[in-house]
Structure 1
């Protein structure tokens, strides 16, 4: 079977397993990138070929990206063995890169203000507000519809990861913004290449990142979500409440935001008094 056919078969298998489109598209992209850049057949590619491919991107991949892409390859080569397309698994000789400790990287309050004050398309501004005041991921923003807004109850619906659906409270600014957007259908419909569908999450990420960069701030779209979670904690919200608002399945995921609460750490340091015994 040709490499292209292999990847297509794997793509179909993933859809049959009801994985999210975002996950499938990204996995397929990485596999095609490996085949193209290594100039190797995925049925015969060696561990050395994969290591050399990793090394060719050492300057533009962070540790997290490297670990993520390795996990994609791991799933793929295990699938090849399961389908009896290949007897060996070259990744067993490569070893697994250690994923870095996850930490929240919220933008500063002043940076958020700078972004919101800058000029940009209204559509992009709405995306930024959904991320910063709703805590939405880029893929969730892409799928947002007018029907998701429930002004009467002051809430909105989020179609999240793993096909989860959850209502969360609606920020007053988002409620006002909703009046400027379609009451029905996707807020961010795709162009003519995907009629009737929404834009992709990657497109949302790129549009927001471009607007942020033009404002003079160095940050990613996902850091707006980090600002949302961290600011809630710093302002005194209970961590279980923040877990629900961020829609984390595990409290462990929410705890990464507690590591970034500089306000609390500075406040704790200021309580240290070396002369308290005198008092």
Structure 2
């Protein structure tokens, strides 16, 4: 029964124009809920949901994402007459701390590009850093998205928004070597279309490991954080950065205005040094 319900729910979301990645992530979250409770969706209670959201080992951001998925599916069940109540209405809101960027340094990005990464992995890294693309946009890059005449590149961003961005010169050079009328990263194994976003994540992770970068916080999405952080450090207006990152509100972009590690290092080094005293000077004071 739940399989049919989830197929119907997926069809509703596609009709709403939600991104395939969003639908896929919600499906995974809901399947996890069903496995954890051992119940069918119409029988799940608010207590079940609280236990699921309150389990150990997940971040506040994950809890918030899962709560949103639960709210969407149970609202659908009520609308279709498959439940009389929506248990998510009794769930407390999830408070998630304001995020902080976790960018690669430019040196780390150069290392990944020069440490034996495959050509298509290098292309993924360049799109992530020089265009600020999310992994879903990287995976779905098509030759037809690039307009050499206007110097732009088109993508479908988070929330299924079709956006057009200026083409960075590095990506323009890259585009001349990529398929002009096909997916830049076609799926393998006989599948049609482009690679999944997870394949981009895996490829960048492998390049990171090959480059000897051990920070577990750095992921493929960190390339986008590097894009935003380095633009701030270069003095680009925050409103321009918001446009380049596809943010609807400048408030979302504000996390990149936090002082970067390089700026903090420059700040501490701005204090002029003094010779370290070898003696306390107490004997001279006593005299």
- TM-score category, normalised to shorter length: 0.7 to 0.9
Aligned to 1:277: none
Partner of 2:27: 28
The one of 192, 204, 210 aligned to 2:206: 210
Kindly state the Cα deviation for residue 134 of structure 1 after the two structures are TM-superposed: 1.0
Does the 8 Å contact 2:132/2:223 carry over to 1? yes
Partner of 1:178: 175
Matches within 5 A, 1:125-274: 125-195=122-192, 197-217=193-213, 218=215, 219-264=218-263
- The answer to whether residue 32 in structure 2 is matched with residue 69 in structure 1 is no
Q: Distance in 1 between matches of 2:222 and 2:60?
A: 18
Residue pairs, 1:43-62, within 5 angstroms: 43-56=42-55, 58-59=56-57, 61-62=58-59
Would you say how many aligned residue pairs link Structure 1 and Structure 2?
269
Equivalent residues of 1:230, 1:257 under 8 A apart: yes
Tell me the equivalent position of 1:14: 13
2:285 maps to which residue?
none
**How does the TM-score come out when normalised to structure 1?**
0.87
Q: Distance in 2 between matches of 1:193 and 1:84?
A: 40
User: What pairs with 1:66-145 in structure 2 (closer than 5 Å)?
Assistant: 66-145=63-142
Larger radius of gyration: 2
Measured after TM superposition, the shift of residue 265 of structure 1 is 5.5
1:176-211 deviations in Å (ceiling 9; x for gaps): 22232111111011124532x111222222222232
Deviation at 1:37, TM superposition (A): 2.7
Q: Give 1:12 deviation, angstroms.
A: 1.1
Instruction: Report runs of 4+ in structure 1 exceeding 4 Å deviation.
Output: 262-273
Give the Cα–Cα distance (whole angstroms) in 2 for the partners of residues 120 and 42 of structure 1.
44
Give me the whole-angstrom Cα distance separating, in 2, the residues matched to 1:210 and 1:50: 35
Q: Do the aligned residues in 2 keep the contact of 1:155 with 1:167 (CA within 8 Å)?
A: yes
Gap regions ≥5 residues in structure 1:
274-279
- State the alpha-carbon separation in 2 of the partners of residues 270 and 216 from structure 1: 28
